[in-house]
Structure 1
Amino acid sequence: MKFLVWLLGLFSLAVALKLAAQNPGYLLLLYPPYRLEISLILFLILLLTLFIMGYFTVRLVLSAIRLPAYIRQSRIERSHSKAHAAMMEALNAFFEGRYALAEKAAVRAMKLGENSSLNSVIAARSAHELREFSRRDTYLAASDGKSTEISTMHLMAQAKFSLDQHQPQAALHALTELRNSGVKGHTGALLLELRAQQQAGNWDAVLDMTNQLEKQDAMDSSAAMQIRQQALLEKIRAHTLDAPTLLALWKNSPQEFKRLPKVVAAIARALIYQGDCRSARQIVTDKLNQEWDRDLVLLYGDCLADETVCQIEQAERWLKQHPDDAGLLLVLGKLCLQQKLWSKAQNYLDASNSITPSIDAYTTLGHLAEKLQQPDEAFKYFQKAMSLAQGK
């Protein structure tokens, strides 16, 4: 477009000169006592030349005046370009797992004037992965007190760092600050809070967080079920619930939860701890009738209530189906000892040891020998139990 304008201008000038050449006019300049007569064409050419020279002179002066500002702006843009490149290098290195390189690149970006607080968060996360906690805290402090987005990154990073160092209360404090700042329904924050509640042992809160995450489709049903089972199991193992609450919890638990032997064992131990041995025995009995478990049968012998005879009868019915179960024979020996059936206790305990010698069986035989006032025999049994404990 500029070329066409200049071309038209040159043609116009050529036409004007042609017309002027056909009209031999002149220009008279009079300044007493001086007199100057000049051709009109020459005057116009001189005037045009002066205009062009003046135009370029002004442009040159303006360029010289603007040169320092241009150089400064060019340097700033070049510095920003280098800083942005360093930040992208830090991001790439961090997600590739090259944390030392990511930290160095993020620090370089900050030194080059990159104002994004993302650099300080990347540097902090990289230093955390390198277990350089003092540097991590310094970087993290640099991102504090900024905009809402930066504050969110800062608090999320702080919560993650606290969890990795097993400081759930500090993590919960950071997540509470995040929620108070107006950030709600944040899936990442909910997942961090779930971890924090698990570390803190707040199992009711764990169940609530699991429900929220499942509603948001942030957790599949199988993972949610596993977390719920763990939370319920830990609530039982904590021994902080009384017997009626434990029974209500057991009653309202899902069937797949009740079928787990470790859960049955946990609820039985908790009920025994609370003094409700009858309920514990019933739960263990029902489970063993459904599915035999060698570890669970040992717990049956600890459910000592006022109905030891009934327990012995039940255990002897199981013995017909599992005659070679050393654990069941040990339980029968303990129950017979509790009922002062010395001979039967001796036979069952000896049978248990003949299949699989155990510390518990020899210790129980030692107590039986003491009951029968046989100190030498008791000493031998205790010595055998000690040898087994020492791996001899």
Structure 2
Amino acid sequence: MPAWRAPCVRSRSCAKRRFRSNCPRSSTASTRYATSSWRRRRSRERARPMRWLIRFVLVFALAVAIAMAARYSEGYALLVVPPYRIELSLPVLMFGLFAAFALSYMVLRALTHTLRLPAYVSAFRRRRRERRGFDALQSAWEAFLEGRYGRAQKYAIRAYHLRTAPSLSALLAARAAHALRDFEQRDQWLERAAQVPGESRNARLAAHAEMLLDERRYEEARAILRDMHANGPKQLATLRLLLRAEQGLHNWEEVLRLLRILDKRDARSRPLTEPLRITAIVECLKQKGHDAEALRAFWKQVRHEDKIEPRVAAAAAQCFIQVGDAREAHRLIAEALARNWTPDLVQLYGECDGEDALERIQRCEEWLHDHPHDAVLLLTLGRLCMYRELWGKAQSYLEASLSQQPSRAAHRELARLYEKIGRETEAERHYRIAADVATPA
């Protein structure tokens, strides 16, 4: 037998404490009634031995007082019941009266208990049902937390039929059925939870929305969560579920709005949501990459610390190039590289078209002082020099890049360079080498 089911004096109180620590709070009337009834019963059980002790002391004191009074009393009582005449000593009379009173009291108590026997039986059954219900609900939570969802559902259903926190029991049965992928049973238990008088509406809706999100039914989950958010307290848990729904629907602007709200209310979650924020910004940039005005308006709203993130800077640069603003693309790449040196951004800086190639060459040569052995930077300089037809410098930079790290892109660019200057044999050799090199760039 498990330790928590041991038939000890403290078992009920221990079970009660474990139940309250494992179960979420429920505001249902049945839970409040069961808790208050359990407390009243426990207080009566604790006070019963003290009451009997007080009664025994009082009876004993009364007997001692009567005995002491009879010792010094010489009086008597005369009872005349024609044709009889009875003379009794005072102690005997007092003892008789006391015995008659005690007998009458016992008879009345017996009659009272006999008349109240149906109520006693009903109360006993109710207490036993409550005890079994609490045990079943506790077993359901333990099984659910252990991942034994079939067992959890069985005990939750038992607790529901025993009317122990019926709303909570129905929700737990629904969650267990959902974990077992039995969606029909889950929906039935959600309906039963909704039919319980005084049920916790927000708890049921939040659980329903979370289960819909697990099924990727984002539209339905979002409708439920927006209704909760509009008509109830704006809880962090609800906001996080709504964030999942908007992310599943690829509504990236709404994702960014919800992330800003979460950052204001719970700053500790920012490191966890940072990757999602970057993804949302990149996706928003892609959506607005064909509208110059919308792109610029959105870019103004992005925080500076997000603008210099490599993924964001690369996506923004590509979008600005698409709308014909290559100079802005070059500027933001340079700003991002000043804070986060990333080879992908360096390569993109050289692949961008634009009339400011000389300015970019000068900037790359400045970077070369800090990164003299960067193969990607040398490759970028070679491309820019080829764009400006500076064949000698381009050749030296490309060969330097190959000396640092052989790459397919550098061999291909060098082959193109040799084609431009009429050295076909060397161009063919570098094309063949580029086909065999494993490193693309």
Is TM-score (shorter-chain normalized) higher than 0.5?
Answer: yes
Q: Among residues 340, 347, 360, which one is paired with 1:311 in the alignment?
A: 360
Whether the 8 Å contact between 1:175 and 1:189 is mirrored in structure 2 is: yes
Q: By how many angstroms is 1:278 displaced?
A: 1.7
Counterparts of 1:123 and 1:72 in 2: how far apart (Å)? 28
Going from structure 1 to structure 2, the CA distance change for 1:194 and 1:219 (only over 3 Å counts) comes to farther
Letter in 2 for 1:178: M
Letter in 2 for 1:19: A
Q: By how many angstroms is 1:192 displaced?
A: 2.2
The answer on 1:219 being equivalent to 2:292 is no
Letter in 1 for 2:168: L
**What are the Cα deviations for residues 205-256 of structure 1, in whole angstroms up to 9, with x where unaligned?**
234334434554x334854983655544443354447334444544554443
Going from structure 1 to structure 2, the CA distance change for 1:150 and 1:277 (only over 3 Å counts) comes to same
Counterparts of 2:364 and 2:264 in 1: how far apart (Å)? 46
**What are the Cα deviations for residues 94-133 of structure 1, in whole angstroms up to 9, with x where unaligned?**
5677766544432332243324211122333345556665
Question: Counterpart of 2:77?
Answer: 19
Q: Which residues in structure 2 correspond to 1:227-242 (within 5 Å)?
A: 231-240=280-289, 242=291
Q: Among residues 247, 250, 253, which one is paired with 1:204 in the alignment?
A: 253
Q: By how many angstroms is 1:304 displaced?
A: 0.6
Counterparts of 2:433 and 2:195 in 1: how far apart (Å)? 68
Larger radius of gyration: 1
Q: By how many angstroms is 1:155 displaced?
A: 0.9
Other structure's SS at 1:143 match? helix
Q: By how many angstroms is 1:78 displaced?
A: 0.4
**What are the Cα deviations for residues 306-351 of structure 1, in whole angstroms up to 9, with x where unaligned?**
3334434443454455443221222233334444555654443333
Q: Which residues in structure 2 correspond to 1:187-198 (within 5 Å)?
A: 187-198=236-247
Going from structure 1 to structure 2, the CA distance change for 1:377 and 1:18 (only over 3 Å counts) comes to farther
Q: Among residues 118, 122, 128, which one is paired with 2:172 in the alignment?
A: 122
Going from structure 1 to structure 2, the CA distance change for 1:148 and 1:386 (only over 3 Å counts) comes to farther
Q: Among residues 196, 211, 216, which one is paired with 1:161 in the alignment?
A: 211
Q: By how many angstroms is 1:157 displaced?
A: 1.0
Q: TM-score, normalised by structure 1?
A: 0.72
Whether the 8 Å contact between 2:140 and 2:156 is mirrored in structure 1 is: yes
Question: Counterpart of 1:88?
Answer: 138
Q: Among residues 336, 345, 359, which one is paired with 2:408 in the alignment?
A: 359
The answer on 1:140 being equivalent to 2:190 is yes
**What are the Cα deviations for residues 149-208 of structure 1, in whole angstroms up to 9, with x where unaligned?**
52211111122223344443332122123235x313223212322333344333332343
Whether the 8 Å contact between 1:207 and 1:231 is mirrored in structure 2 is: yes
The answer on 1:151 being equivalent to 2:201 is yes
Question: Counterpart of 1:350?
Answer: 399
Q: Among residues 256, 273, 276, which one is paired with 2:305 in the alignment?
A: 256
Going from structure 1 to structure 2, the CA distance change for 1:330 and 1:215 (only over 3 Å counts) comes to closer
Going from structure 1 to structure 2, the CA distance change for 1:220 and 1:56 (only over 3 Å counts) comes to closer
Counterparts of 1:90 and 1:190 in 2: how far apart (Å)? 28
Question: Counterpart of 2:227?
Answer: 177
Count of residues in Structure 1 that have an aligned counterpart in Structure 2: 373
Going from structure 1 to structure 2, the CA distance change for 1:38 and 1:363 (only over 3 Å counts) comes to farther
Structure with greater contact order relative to length (CA < 8 Å, sep ≥ 6): 2
Q: By how many angstroms is 1:294 displaced?
A: 3.0
Going from structure 1 to structure 2, the CA distance change for 1:113 and 1:272 (only over 3 Å counts) comes to same
State the percentage of identical aligned residues: 35
Counterparts of 2:227 and 2:196 in 1: how far apart (Å)? 14
Going from structure 1 to structure 2, the CA distance change for 1:100 and 1:363 (only over 3 Å counts) comes to farther
RMSD: 4.6
Q: Which piece of structure 1 moves more, 376-385 or 102-111?
A: 376-385
Other structure's SS at 2:267 match? coil
The answer on 1:324 being equivalent to 2:361 is no
Runs of 5+ consecutive residues of structure 2 not aligned to the other structure? 1-53, 88-98
Counterparts of 1:289 and 1:152 in 2: how far apart (Å)? 49
Whether the 8 Å contact between 2:308 and 2:335 is mirrored in structure 1 is: no
Whether the 8 Å contact between 1:214 and 1:224 is mirrored in structure 2 is: no
Whether the 8 Å contact between 1:145 and 1:151 is mirrored in structure 2 is: no
Counterparts of 2:339 and 2:119 in 1: how far apart (Å)? 88
Question: Counterpart of 1:384?
Answer: 433
Runs of 5+ consecutive residues of structure 1 not aligned to the other structure? 28-36, 42-48
Counterparts of 2:173 and 2:214 in 1: how far apart (Å)? 17
Q: Among residues 60, 68, 71, which one is paired with 2:121 in the alignment?
A: 71
Q: By how many angstroms is 1:389 displaced?
A: 4.5
Going from structure 1 to structure 2, the CA distance change for 1:310 and 1:150 (only over 3 Å counts) comes to same
Going from structure 1 to structure 2, the CA distance change for 1:370 and 1:141 (only over 3 Å counts) comes to farther
Q: Which piece of structure 1 moves more, 251-260 or 83-92?
A: 251-260
Counterparts of 1:341 and 1:325 in 2: how far apart (Å)? 21
Counterparts of 1:387 and 1:245 in 2: how far apart (Å)? 44
Counterparts of 2:237 and 2:101 in 1: how far apart (Å)? 69
Whether the 8 Å contact between 2:226 and 2:242 is mirrored in structure 1 is: no
Q: By how many angstroms is 1:79 displaced?
A: 1.4
Letter in 1 for 2:210: K
